[in-house]
Amino acid sequence: DGKETTMKVVLNQGEKGRVLSAIFASSTTSAIPATSSTSSSASTPPAPPAPSRPVFPLVVAGFGGAALVTGGVLFALGLNRVPANCSVSNKDCAAPPGDPAFADAHSGTSMANIGAGVAIGGAVVLVTGVILYLTSRPTVSSTTGQVVQPWVARGASGVALTF
């Protein structure tokens, strides 16, 4: 009807072929009476949803953090199970042969070694999850429900249906 509409579009790298949608005010909108909460001028369209990063890398980082804490606890418990007359750093036990301190020291160091491995693995998974989160490109979540969108391209046009 001889009216112009301006639409500002911000595209990120790699968004070729992105679907754009716009709502054009019809000539009948001025016939709708304004309510007490709105002014008599045309209302502004709702703001588009903000882009967000995926949640999966945070889940990976959470599992890594849990493994890191679990490994640290196993490491500390294992070292506490080593008897006082045994040295972990020197791999030496001041006990007579056949003393149960040897078995306790072996059990404690085995638990500490497993805890160290779990903690290191958890740290790697935690760092990987954080890196994946920080390097992922924010995306706009898709709309839910039924959407009908007309589209026009060079040499083609149509209607896109989303259910």
Per-residue model confidence as pLDDT tens digits over 74-124: 999 999 999 988 888 888 888 888 888 888 988 999 999 999 999 999 999
For 44-66, how does the pLDDT look when each residue is reduced to its tens digit (9 = 90+)?
666 777 778 888 999 999 999 99
The pLDDT value recorded for residue 54 is 85
Q: Which two tokens stand for residue 92?
A: 């030496």
Q: Under a CB-based contact definition with an 8 Å cutoff, are residues 140 and 159 in contact?
A: no
C-alpha dist (Å) from residue 96 to 27, 67, 100, 104: 99, 38, 9, 14
**H helical segments located in the chain:** 56-81, 100-135
Residue among 162, 87, 144, 76 nearest 115 (CA): 76
